[in-house]
Amino acid sequence: MTEKKKKKAEIVCDEKAYLTEKKFKFEWLNSLAEQYGFDKFEYLHKFRAFRCYKQDRHLDWVDINDLSLINGGRRLEEIRLKHQAVSPRRAVIQYPWR
């Protein structure tokens, strides 16, 4: 019987206190990592978004509002500066609205 060990994704974030204050839940990233196989998330505060990595390769972006919406929440903050959107063909994360 083979048992798969769940390896937690690495989260690189210097703004944990800020995100916690905004009611962001870091468990959301772990469920995203399990679903899509990401092994690292890097937070960029100016975009209020995480870069999603798999095997040291940047594959997609997810902002804090999208993570909240996916998990049944609501928008956490107005984001004025958006990251460059990933084309729907190249995107890994499947949003209902994408």
What's the pLDDT score for residue 38? Answer: 96
The per-residue pLDDT for range 29-79, each reduced to its tens digit, is: 999 999 999 999 999 999 999 999 999 999 999 999 999 999 999 999 998
Query: Which own/partner contact pairs does 63-68 have at CB distance under 8 Å and 24+ positions apart?
Result: 64/19, 64/22, 64/24, 66/95, 67/24, 67/28, 67/29, 67/32, 68/23, 68/24, 68/28
What's the pLDDT score for residue 77? Answer: 92
Predicted TM-score (pTM) of the model is 0.86
